[in-house]
Amino acid sequence: QVQLQESGPGLVKPSETLSLTCAVSGYSISSGYYWGWIRQPPGKGLEWIGNIYHSGSTYYNPSLKSRVTISIDTSKNQFSLKLTSVTAADTAVYYCASSPDFWSGYSRYYYYYMDVWGKGTTVTVSS
């Protein structure tokens, strides 16, 4: 059973870079699936940030694309989020999540939902 745990600084200064890590247990990240980040500002709704496939391919929210990088570290079985030039608007609870895949014959297919979520980590942008 996949389990996810976010970690990183709880406080980031404006204009600096927000860096978070999601540790994966119960599954080898190099085996498949794809992995993503979602955030939720205080009192507001969910916002999808981006995904990374086990192959390294990435997809980002167009509104954040210029500032976001998601990467995978297979040696540590974790994936990471970097968000540059942060402002108070980036203050949020950040969640990591996984999306499963399956094989049919010799082809890999992906499911289009997030079935396992981390508990979330709060990041505040303030000087």
Partner 1 sequence: QSALTQPASVSGSPGQSITISCTGTNSDVGGYNYVSWYQQHPGKAPKLMIYDVSKRPSGVSNRFSGSKSGNTASLTISGLQAEDEADYYCSSYTSSSTYVFGTGTKVTVL
Binding residues for partner 1, per CB under 8 A?
A: 36, 38, 45-48, 50-51, 59-63, 95, 111-115, 117-120
Residue listed under structure tokens 């608007």: 89
CB of 40 to partner 1, least distance (A): 9
Q: Which is nearer to partner 1, 19 or 99 (CB)?
A: 99
Q: Which is nearer to partner 1, 32 or 100 (CB)?
A: 100
Beta bridge partners of 123: 92
Q: Residue 52, Cβ neighbours under 10 Å: how many?
A: 22
CB of 70 to partner 1, least distance (A): 13
Longest pairwise C-alpha distance within the chain: 54
Q: Residue 87, Cβ neighbours under 10 Å: how many?
A: 9
Q: Which is nearer to partner 1, 82 or 119 (CB)?
A: 119
Beta bridge partners of 110: 101
List the structure tokens of 96: 């990591």
CB of 26 to partner 1, least distance (A): 16
Q: Residue 35, Cβ neighbours under 10 Å: how many?
A: 25
Is the Cβ–Cβ distance between 47 and 40 less than 8 Å?
yes
Q: Which is nearer to partner 1, 16 or 64 (CB)?
A: 64
CB of 18 to partner 1, least distance (A): 19
